[in-house]
Structure 1
Amino acid sequence: MPGEKKNGKIIIIGGGAVGMAVATSLTRHSDYSITVFSADVHTAYSQCGMPFVISGEIKDFKTLIRRDEKFLKGIGIDLHLGTRIDSINTKESTVVSGAEEYHYDKLVIATGSKTKIPSDIPGTRLGNVFTLRTLSDAIKIEEAVKNASSVVIIGGGSIGAELAAAIVRRNVNTTLLSRSSSILSHNVDPDMAEAVQEHLESMGVNVITGYVPSALNGEENVSSVTIGTTDFPADLVIFSTGVEPENELAINAGIDIGPTGGIIVDEYLHPSMSGAFHPDIYCGGECVEVLDHITGKPMLSQVASNARRMAGTITKNLTSKPVRFDPILNPWVAVIGNIQVGTTGITSKKAAENDIKIVTGLATGSTRAEYYPGGSKLFIKLIFSDEYLVGAQVVGGEGVKERIDALTLAIKKRTTVHELANIETCYAPPVSTLQDPTGFAAKGALKKMRKKA
């Protein structure tokens, strides 16, 4: 299981949230020799912060770099940026990059995800058509926005919505296009997404749902996007149409891939190879599939907090007694303009896909006492199955993360609708109302259950 060799060689493929967290932790807690290969030219930076530099809320992209190359090499990491690994030989315990071959005692695969651009849309290769994945992508988008008067963002997920809010704040005509009938369709139910869409529209974003673009038009650079029968001007187009695991390297090495496209791993994050889990290799981050706590089925996680937890699991398994990475609820929060939106557990859509019968409760409240200045509306949706909490969604101007964190723990602890209907909460006018809307949402669900009974 965990590595016991002193001065053994560890190679880490990927310099993102998992790869660099494992590397820096191992420098403090082990005697391993550590080499990191990353295809990116930057490392140890916050991807989540990139939209907020584009909006102007964060001064510059340098602020997002938490540890520079000089620091990382200074603590003993052999760091190779802008370097791709071409192949892995698990029998010989080697990796190849160009003409060089490197031996390892333990291997960590943390190759992350790659962006998906629909291949059937004409014009995607025109100039000023971007995706946002790396710091280099963000820098290019920032430069292009400076000279743009109109931007079309294709994809209504969390990154697309964050970018729309960021760019419209730059006084640029912004259109957000979602193929689903509501934005944030992977994260929240349509009734909760409605409040976020209304907020974006109040900021000046033109939100279009239920369409895919027919074409991107222009000669050298993009000039417009055809949506339905209308051509929308666009000096800049950003595709935010999702990501998929970057697993070609793992596939070629004979590592098993699951139905989600992610690497199959056991509870210790060892990858499966022909059905057997390899004891000297660990995998983590967006390239692996893990288990959903509610459905028990494989899923992908693209939240930084789970990546950091996987890095912790890998580090402990390399340096101490084995620890497990348990099934996840994947709690998520985003700040879109001046509104916060969060979710945990399953949505109504996911429940339907898995034949889980649910009862929901909705409540609207305020984040502060009515008479206290600065408050905002708060929308809470709770999802129950067999009287147990299995999902929660919160939208509001403040206090969303704290509620999602608490409700995540409530799901893990199998909290019932009765317990939440009688929830004990604290109160002070600057931070809450006398009775928290969470209790009202639970009471709404309980009332539905009693009617059915």
Structure 2
Amino acid sequence: MYEKETADRKKLIIVGGGAAGMAVATSVRRHGNYDITVFSSDSHTAYSQCGMPFVLAREIEDFNSLVLRKKEFFEDMDIDLRLNTTVDSIDLEARTVSTGKKTYTFDKLLIATGSRPEVPGNLRSGAELDNVFTLRTLSDGMEIDRAMEKAESIVVIGGGGIGVEIAIAAAKRGLRTFLVNRGTSLLSHNIDPDMAEIVQEHIESLGVSVLTGETPQSINGQNKIESVTIGGEDFPADMVVISTGVWPETELASDAGIEIGSTGGIIVNDHLQVKTKQGFDPDVYAGGECVQLYDFVTGSPMLSQLASTARRMAGTIRDNLVSKPSGFGSIVNPWVAAVAELQVGTVGINTRIAREHGIDIASGLATGSTRAGYYPGSTRIFVKLLFSNRVLVGAQVIGGEGVKERIDGLSLAIKKKTTVDELLELETCYTPPLSTLEDPMIFAVRGALKKIPGSKK
């Protein structure tokens, strides 16, 4: 299918078979002239991590549906894919990587090692018990699914996006479900507490018992999980899923002398080339969740666990590998999740991040409908917009429909540094089945304007 142009073929090694690694492998094969080898410690590749909670909820038939490309596809593309293979070391001076069994030379290298689940120190011994899980790989998802078939009760630890989705999946399958979050509101990395209240009320209506402001003291059992101690009380459980966040997998890079940033991610330049004591290495790239990026609004270093960000990074790396110099700038990190019947989206900074960076903001919160009130199927929608110095810096939207489209548009507005005055002039379309005569975003803009000093009310 792909003829080998052996004359000047260079060797490209990719460490990591996730969204960034495999996207680079396939696109470089189409547009470049490399011998490509991919090493992945996973037993599967080219699958959707984001889809796993929906298999657990039985909204998607099975885990095989999440496999987008089988190993044979990459073989046909002349990509040497080594699954279940761990790279033990990288020697930048010798231009080699070692798997323990063999050493391989490279001309170009991509480190796309992703992230690993973080388990709080006081829970690590309990995490070794049977039926205590983290969700990261397809194999993890399959194990959780099998446990759910036999379980009657579950404790999900962590109220971020994945934790919320797993709790909903468990409740839908009839398990007695407890969701425990150390913060006082759910999805706190993404949305403000007033918006989180909407989410919590919705998932509680589905039968999930939510415990906020609580940190589990221990996970208890002999060989198998029996209970979780929360606030001095033991909650019986047949299974536990720990979803308390992830940490960039950068040990391999660090051991090779590659510099790691304050966020724990690999430091890169605009071309996504890694940094060593000698400067940025033109032949070594990093992409995906293991990389430190920069926030467009604050200018501060940050991490992104979004597949969409990883795919964009893959495009930049591909361009540079095929001699089309390309840069990757700061990000606004647009995020959306399906929380049962609710869609939840955010982009830019939230109030917590603004406070941490000393940014004064004025916010507007509006409630409206997604369709004309008389049209069947209309749902409520909540829009919160944040402005700093009259410029849009953050947005949060929750509703039964129409969330992604608004977040996408507001993502562009933040990057264009759109002002409150410009948004007041926004023209929106209208038809009863799809919208109201005046979009709720406009009411949120007006609400923020009232709080901005010196504005005409």
CA deviation vs aligned residue, 1:164-193 (integer Å, no higher than 9, x gap): 111111011111110000000001000111
Task: Return the match for 1:335 from 321, 338, 348.
Answer: 338
- 2:82 alignment partner AA: H
How big is the shift at 1:229?
2.4
Q: Secondary structure at the match of 1:279?
A: strand
- 1:392 alignment partner AA: A
How big is the shift at 1:196?
0.6
What is the distance in 1 between the residues matched to 2:174 and 2:133? 20
- 2:200 alignment partner AA: Q
Q: Secondary structure at the match of 1:441?
A: helix
What is the distance in 2 between the residues matched to 1:352 and 1:448? 17
Q: Secondary structure at the match of 2:122?
A: coil
What is the distance in 2 between the residues matched to 1:368 and 1:6? 59
Count residues in correspondence: 449
Task: Return the match for 2:96 from 77, 94, 97.
Answer: 94
Within 5 A, what are the aligned runs for 1:264-283? 264-274=267-277, 276-283=279-286
Matched residue, 2:27:
25
What is the distance in 2 between the residues matched to 1:170 and 1:83? 35
Contact 1:22 1:311 in 2 (8 A): yes
CA deviation vs aligned residue, 1:103-129 (integer Å, no higher than 9, x gap): 000000000000000122352211100
What is the distance in 1 between the residues matched to 2:245 and 2:195? 21
The alignment status of 1:429 with 2:432, answered yes or no, reads: yes
How big is the shift at 1:451?
6.9
Within 5 A, what are the aligned runs for 1:44-63? 44-63=46-65
Aligned-residue sequence identity (percent) comes to: 58
Matched residue, 1:162:
165
- 1:247 alignment partner AA: T
How big is the shift at 1:233?
1.7
Matched residue, 1:254:
257
How big is the shift at 1:246?
0.2
- 2:271 alignment partner AA: Y
How big is the shift at 1:6?
3.2
What is the distance in 2 between the residues matched to 1:191 and 1:275? 48
Within 5 A, what are the aligned runs for 1:45-444? 45-121=47-123, 123-274=126-277, 276-444=279-447
What is the distance in 2 between the residues matched to 1:150 and 1:451? 55
What is the distance in 2 between the residues matched to 1:197 and 1:452? 35
Of stretches 42-51 and 210-219 in structure 1, the one that deviates more from structure 2 is 210-219
* Divergent runs of 4+, >4 A: 450-453
Structure-1-length-normalised TM-score: 0.98
Q: Secondary structure at the match of 1:329?
A: coil
Matched residue, 2:3:
none
Of stretches 422-431 and 117-126 in structure 1, the one that deviates more from structure 2 is 117-126
How big is the shift at 1:450?
4.5
Instruction: Give unmatched runs, 5+ long, in structure 2.
Output: 1-6
Gap change, CA 1:350 and 1:275, over 3 Å in 2: farther
How big is the shift at 1:60?
0.6
CA deviation vs aligned residue, 1:181-235 (integer Å, no higher than 9, x gap): 0000001000111101011001110011000101111221101111112211210
Gap change, CA 1:80 and 1:215, over 3 Å in 2: same
How big is the shift at 1:452?
8.0
Contact 1:421 1:440 in 2 (8 A): no
How big is the shift at 1:320?
2.9
| RMSD between aligned residues | 1.1
